[in-house]
Amino acid sequence: MTGPDPQLPGPPSSGATRTHLPLAPLGEPEPLRADAARNRTRLLEAASRLMGGCGAANLTMEAVASAAGVGKGTVFRRFGDRTGLLIALLDHREALLQAAFLSGPPPMGPGAPATERLHAFGPAVMRHDRDHHELILASRTDPLRAYAVPAFRLRLSHVALLLRQLKVQGNTELLAHTLLGSVDATLVHHLTRERGVPIEELEQGWHDLVTRVQGPLGHP
């Protein structure tokens, strides 16, 4: 498990609007009873320990059940399938990132102008997803599922909200998809690991793209 991701400042501007959005977990949307929540935590702790030794790609529901001292059916009932388990494992990591951009300090949090928050958001997402790339990749057995999980929808709505605050012209949701596509975990992994592109260069690419999307407002 890693700590909160660094928040990198972008070019300064003005026009912040304070907005409150709820944290959107990757896992179960409904509150659990106390005993069910404890069991879920125990299963996730067992899965995290196992993943540290065998990696996300080799993690099995059977191994998690054995490590937690429960039947395999219990794991399936709690998470649905292996992909559901892997998505749940991302929940805590994603919650740290969400807290940073929803309620954390500037430049990514609500105390900064919208343009600074947008510039800071991309690099933080890239570094967060790079640190959890193996887990993210293992959880993407269904490409369409990645767009349906609450955590992605929160990222999308957050970027679209910042674009609207900046009065960017056009379909802000489509523009938000385009921006987030440029920092997709698989693309960032390919460029940094396979093509040898420094992550700092990708971060600068995010700043350039945000500036172009903003138009004249994007220039400091």
**Which residues of the chain form CATH 1.10.10.60?**
31-80
Does residue 66 have a pLDDT over 70? yes
pLDDT of residue 216: 67
What does the pLDDT look like over 171-196, one tens digit per residue?
999 999 999 999 999 999 999 999 99
Torsion of the alpha carbons at 39, 44, 49 and 52, rounded to the nearest 10: 170
33 vs 88, higher pLDDT: 88
Sorting pLDDT into bands at 50, 70 and 90, what band is 143? confident
CATH of 31-80, one of 2.170.190.11, 3.30.420.10, 2.60.370.10, 1.10.10.60: 1.10.10.60
Contact status, residue 59 vs residue 67, Cβ threshold 8 Å: no
The per-residue b/e assignment along 178-207, b for 16 or more CB within 10 angstroms, e otherwise, is ebbeebebeebbebbeeeeeeeeebbebbb
CATH 1.10.357 boundaries in the chain = 89-218
Per-residue pLDDT tens over the stretch 97-135: 999 999 999 999 999 999 999 999 999 999 999 888 888
For position 71, what pLDDT does the model report? 87
> Which carries the bigger pLDDT value, residue 71 or residue 157?
157
Predicted confidence at residue 135, as pLDDT, reads 82
How does the average pLDDT of the chain come out, rounded?
Answer: 82
pLDDT at 2 over 50: no
Q: What percent of the chain has pLDDT over 70?
A: 82
pLDDT 10s digits, 26-50: 444 455 567 777 788 888 888 888 8
Predicted model pTM = 0.68
Q: Please give the pLDDT value at position 6.
A: 39
Domain 89-218 has CATH 3.30.980: no
Is there a cis peptide before residue 9, judged by omega within 30 degrees of 0?
Answer: no
Cα separation, 51 vs 53, in Å, equals 5
